[in-house]
Homo-oligomer: A and B are copies of this chain.
């Protein structure tokens, strides 16, 4: 493989990455041991600890690093200005990642403790297993370790680098946008490098250029003023669990799989035929997409492949329901209330504010006069699309292709990374979404993992990408 990028020899840096992988892994393990679950107030101290740990690591590499307060969990911000400016203006990149992780329940499904990271080696390969291994601590450490190797080998980075690492990506992220706005002058760069996405199955490196937005809603329906005995009141008194089931079952048309909220599809367009054709060529088939998770019958919207449904179609999901008695045995209770957490994934053209209002109106219209509903909004972000001719895209694709030995592709993703639209809004910058996660990483699930090869070649990839961006005249201009 050619270790030269526009004339500069990367072999010593890549060798250093290979040689020091064990130490890199030890540092990642230290990071993974901190249970920084941002959604759970009991872990607020752990979130701060993760931020401070990261600040100290970045400072040890030689960056100006600080922990910065917000109304919620703190931000980590760091800058490196060691790049040699003698050749003219250098490009400036802003790395983004998050140090917070998802909750770990159901804990009993974890094979080992979620905050006791380990490398498991079997016929499927070697993988790092822990909460946050893939989402997003492992990915964050790919670029931190790349910066470390470059600085250790050359004493300086090839371009100007800043980082902003947040602690609320998994819990609404309400404080990122105000923080970016308040620190616009400090954080504005030529492009944001966001490492929170994945590759295509089979190890094809990818830049994600289409991401869905999200609207999260928590609804609680109140009926009687106390829990009732279902024998004495059943049939005559409204059952909030049944009412909730009616409401949730009514959001999607069961035949077409389409969401029935008025105006839900306003502004939604199918991707151009050539994009759809390209996706069909590179994306897994329905069987390949669903088979690994034990499914075979595509749910959701008719007329689209499973991948199209997740990459470019909006949807409604129920993320949790609770109410009544869920313990051992049986309790013939008719509960006073029932709750659900639901979310909508949005595509380009949909307005999160209008979607939230349409859902709330739909729920209210189904409520009998003696019942009430409470709504709590969680997150709300538009879909984001990175332009095909965006800054640095070509150079990054080329660098990724060199590292992985196969052409890199641009793909869509069903997930939502609100930072993309927030960076656009607050800093007027485009983003490049480059990540090394795999579909089977079990992010948000028990036994989350990150392939050791993702971590190792992820570090190497960033070395190459940074060098390529530094030399990309179109980009630096």
Residues of A within 8 A of B (CB): 38-41, 102-103, 105-106, 109, 170-172, 212, 214, 216, 218, 223-239, 241-242, 244-246, 248-250, 252, 254, 257, 286, 289-290, 293-301, 306-307, 309-310, 313, 315-335, 338-341, 343, 345, 368-371, 378-379, 413-416, 439, 442-447
Contact = CB atoms under 8 A, between A and B. Distances in A.
A84 B379 CA distance: 78
A328 B41 contact: yes
A417 to B, nearest CB: 9
Given A228-B445, A230-B343, A320-B333, A299 B237 contact: yes
A332 B295 contact: no
Given A238-B297, A322-B321, A414 B327 contact: no
A421 to B, nearest CB: 15
A239 B414 contact: no
Contacts of A368: 297, 299
30 contacts: A103-B325, A103-B329, A171-B330, A172-B330, A224-B294, A227-B444, A231-B414, A232-B413, A232-B443, A233-B310, A236-B289, A236-B307, A236-B310, A237-B290, A237-B295, A238-B297, A238-B299, A242-B249, A244-B321, A245-B321, A249-B249, A295-B370, A317-B332, A319-B324, A319-B332, A320-B325, A320-B326, A320-B331, A320-B335, A330-B379
Contacts of A246: 249, 254
A317 to B, nearest CB: 4
- Identical copies of this chain, number: 2
A345 B235 contact: yes
B234 A310 contact: yes
B439 A232 contact: yes
B230 A39 contact: no
Contacts of A230: 317, 319, 343, 345, 444
A225 B39 contact: no
A307 to B, nearest CB: 7
A439 B231 CA distance: 11
Nearest to A296: B370
Contact of A322 (B41, B229, B322): B322
Contacts of A297: 238, 368-371
Contacts of A371: 297
Given A233-B310, A338-B321, A378 B330 contact: yes
B242 A252 contact: yes
A310 B369 contact: no
A343 B332 contact: yes
Nearest to A248: B245
B235 A299 contact: yes
B227 A310 contact: no
B321 A224 contact: no
Contacts of A172: 329-330
Contacts of A319: 230, 241, 324-325, 330-335
A327 to B, nearest CB: 6
B317 A334 contact: yes
A239 B317 contact: yes
A445 B345 contact: no
B226 A293 contact: yes
Given A231-B345, A232-B414, A310-B234, A225 B324 contact: no
Contacts of A295: 223-224, 237-238, 370
B236 A309 contact: yes
Contacts of A322: 321-322, 326
Nearest to A327: B103
Contacts of A444: 227-230, 331-333
Nearest to A444: B229
A286 B293 CA distance: 50
A245 B103 CA distance: 24
B237 A293 contact: yes
A447 B378 CA distance: 33
A304 to B, nearest CB: 8
Contacts of A248: 241-242, 245, 249
B296 A226 contact: no
Given A235-B317, A296-B369, 16 more contacts: A226-B294, A227-B445, A228-B293, A229-B443, A230-B345, A235-B257, A235-B315, A236-B300, A241-B248, A294-B370, A320-B323, A320-B324, A320-B335, A321-B323, A326-B341, A331-B444
